[in-house]
Amino acid sequence: MPEDLLRCAREARGFMPEDEGDLLFAEAVRRAPHGPLLEVGTWCGKSAVYLGAAVRVAREVGNADAVAFTVDHHRGSEENQPGWEYHDPTLVDAHDGRIDTLPFFRRTITEAGLEDEVVAVVGRAPLVARHWRTPLAMLFIDGGHTDEHVTNDYLGFGRWVMPGGTLVFHDVFEHPEDGGQAPWRCYRRALTSGSWEEIEALGSMRILRRVQGEPGDPT
């Protein structure tokens, strides 16, 4: 990963361990030449820098159409709200008292010089998913961590991953004492569906390859 972008990724606000970020970048480099990358849940843009860096690498070797999309409403997940463990009061908009990570995301992407590589879609994932029709080379799910949100992201966008494309789950914890269980349950659901096979695991990150179905088919 280019040193300037690696530095931006490391310094950006977020919750991505460095080794998992490196793995995300490596998988995105493999997939970016084959079609769009999409992440659900970007927070302040830390993971988007890893994806945008992969897009830049792909473009430098002739894949001019490589691109990464991010989908986020930028109001924070449940655990980011006041009174919860991951609340950060510096991200609250003084005007309306709500979390607003969009300015911080924009600053991260601007400082990284990735405004042409990363396209922000601002909105709630289920609504965006209802209108999404573009086959994906890679899907990264790292949005809300309730069963409802993770499952909606998987069902709404996972169906658009192309054959041979990959589905990346973050914050997958087998044991409750290590973290929330919703991503684990959704990851297991994908594995048992017959549509996916696991190809790599590191920390809380799991990478699955689509082995059955065409874009648009239910997963």
pLDDT at 60 over 80: yes
Confidence of residue 84 (pLDDT cuts 50, 70, 90): low
What is the predicted pLDDT for the residue at 80?
A: 61
| N- to C-terminal Cα separation, the chain | 32
SS3 for the chain is CCHHHHHHHHHCCCCCCHHHHHHHHHHHHHHHHHCCEEEECCCCCHHHHHHHHHHHHHHHCCCCCCCEEEEECCCCCHHHCCCCCCCCHHHECCCCCCECCHHHHHHHHHHHCCCCCEEEEECCHHHHHHHCCCCEEEEEECCCCCHHHHHHHHHHHHCCEEEEEEEEECCCCCCHHHCCCHHHHHHHHHHHCCCEEEEEEECCEEEEEECCCCCCCCC
Residues sharing a CB contact under 8 Å with residue 23, sequence separation 6 or more, in sequence order: 200, 202, 205, 207
What pLDDT is attached to residue 14?
87
pLDDT of residue 132: 98
Beta-bridge mates of residue 37: 68, 138
Q: Which residues, in sequence order, are bridge partners of residue 209? A: 166, 197
pLDDT digits (tens, 9 = 90+) for 17-34: 999 999 999 999 999 999
- Between 77 and 39, the higher pLDDT residue: 39
The domain spans of the chain are 3-210
145 classed as catalytic: yes
Q: How confident is the model at residue 93 (pLDDT cuts 50, 70, 90)?
A: confident
Specify whether the CB–CB gap between 28 and 138 falls below 8 A. yes
Give the class (CATH, top level) of 3-210. Answer: alpha beta
CA angle 87, 90, 94 (to 5 degrees): 110
**Is the pLDDT at 63 greater than 80, yes or no?**
yes
Q: Is the pTM of this model over 0.85?
A: yes
Looking at residue 85, what is its pLDDT? 66
What value does the mean pLDDT of the chain take?
Answer: 93
Of 73, 145, 149, 170, the active-site residue reads 145
pLDDT tens digits, residue range 122-180? 999 999 999 999 999 999 999 988 999 999 999 999 999 999 999 999 999 999 988 88
Q: How much of the chain exceeds pLDDT 90, in percent?
A: 82
Lowest mean pLDDT among 85-94, 129-138, 151-160, 186-195: 85-94
Residues 135/35, Cβ–Cβ less than 8 Å: yes
Q: Is the pLDDT confidence value at 54 over 70?
A: yes
User: Regarding predicted confidence, which is higher, 95 or 115?
Assistant: 115
Count other C-beta atoms under 10 Å from residue 180's C-beta: 17
